[in-house]
Chains A and B, each alone.
Chain A
Amino acid sequence: MAQNISPEIERLIKLLSKLPGLGPRSARRAALELIKKREPLMRPLVTAMSDAADKIEECGVCGNIDAANPCHICAAPGRDQSVICVVQDVGDLWAMERAATFKGVYHVLGGTLSAIDGIRPEDLRIAGLIGRVKGGGISEVILAMNATVDGQTTAHYITDHIEGPNQAGERVTISRLAHGVPVGGELDYLDDGTINAALSSRRPF
């Protein structure tokens, strides 16, 4: 870092460069932009970040992040509380919400089982999910895990632990998202694994 930059700006650049998508060079540009637009951009950003740091917390029910606990999805009266969609991260929950077709509730695991990264079942919110399902009142669990080896390993692990009757003796339907051709996808550009998955889960037309 150049010596003629003040320590305050240097600190700002250093912190900004830790954000995903920003390296030292782009962090420098972002810092400069913030300083130039101090009133219209920097101060509101400071307030927004301070508010978020103070108020945002993890939902005690589903693991979503929100200013309220339980989060606004868990507390929404119009949502079907008997259908749980299990997702890996909050980003996946947001993706599902963007689609605006799912009207149930969520459970955010916080990652996937991974031998490489040393993530074990205890490191994820799997016990909380089992408790919710076994506690009763759940009719379906949708496993919306990524179509990766780790994602599907986690899905199978969860299935092993939640299938069977709950405390009330009710059986819970366990389903997973379909794997196959994405909307707008062209067969010519798809990998053979995706084509195989799409063929094996074809349905009458």
Chain B
Amino acid sequence: MDWTGEGYVLSVKKHGETSAIIEVFTRDRGRHLGLVRGGVSRKLRPVLQAGNKIKVEWRARLSEHLGYFTVEGVNSRAAELMQDRLSLAGLNSACAVARETLPEREPHADVFDAFEVLIANLHDKDIWPALYIQWEAGLLASMGYGLDLSRCAATGVTDNLTHVSPRSGRAVCAQAAEPYRDKLYSLPSFMQPLSRRNDITVPQCDVEDGLRLTGYFLETRIQWGVNRTLPEARERMVGMLVG
């Protein structure tokens, strides 16, 4: 069994004295683990940093085996993002969420494409928080827990959608949300279907609302099912962004 592809390093765990077990997020194979011989060597350590894009060749005798990766660096995004605390926090959080929520060896091409866009823009602090929230919303959708933001769950209208029901994950318009405001999650303006194209800058309150919204659904729909809470890296990033 063997395949070749490109993917992003999600995690590296030392195995024995010289090897490492790495998790790679690829477009066609999803989150895939494998052993890299010499993975903690001076030569490979800079390549095997979370967030770096690498070319991998996976080999195993049987498909269900852990297998071995042969790796080669494609780009070193981690080194560029290390300088900035917010960008690094975003990178850590994206890798941690992908690692904890994506099933192993199940391709999620949409999530991968959005992840690639997010990683490429993590240096731009004006846009990456919104990209990050959209990526998490896409991840939820890909896992089967997508938010339905097309029309109001109560009235059926398609405009002025301002809230999301925590029970159904469906949008609620401002009028219908009024009596239940404290029980509903605010829908950030950049996620509202009709205003999406016009947003250039994302206000801080929208970032807070978006992180709270996707965080709630990630935690209750995916993480609680496996007795886990949201990864600490995400909480640290939220702490930095929200303050």
Q: Could you tell me which A residues sit within 8 Å of B by CB distance?
A: 20-21, 115-117, 120, 147-149, 152-153, 156-157, 159-160, 179, 191-194, 196-197, 200
Contact = CB atoms under 8 A, between A and B. Distances in A.
A143 to B, nearest CB: 12
B51 A156 contact: no
Given A148-B45, A153-B88, A156-B88, A196 B79 contact: yes
Given A152-B82, A179-B79, 13 more contacts: A115-B11, A115-B99, A115-B233, A120-B232, A149-B88, A156-B88, A160-B240, A191-B46, A191-B79, A192-B73, A192-B75, A193-B79, A197-B79
B89 interface: yes
A66 B88 CA distance: 35
Interface residues of B, number: 31
Contacts of A156: 85, 88-89
B76 A160 contact: no
Nearest to A197: B79
B118 to A, nearest CB: 16
Nearest to B45: A148
A149 B78 contact: yes
User: Most chain-B Cβ atoms within 10 A of its Cβ — which of A115, A152, A159?
Assistant: A115
Contacts, number: 67
Contact of B50 (A149, A179, A192): A149
A152 B17 CA distance: 23
20 contacts: A115-B232, A115-B233, A147-B82, A149-B49, A149-B50, A149-B51, A149-B78, A149-B82, A149-B91, A149-B92, A152-B88, A153-B88, A153-B89, A156-B85, A157-B236, A160-B240, A192-B76, A194-B76, A194-B79, A196-B80
A116 B78 CA distance: 17
Nearest to B44: A191
A117 B13 contact: yes
A116 B14 CA distance: 10
Nearest to A152: B82
Which of A152, A157, A200 counts the most B-chain CB atoms under 10 A from its CB? A152
A115 B79 contact: no
B55 to A, nearest CB: 14
A153 to B, nearest CB: 6
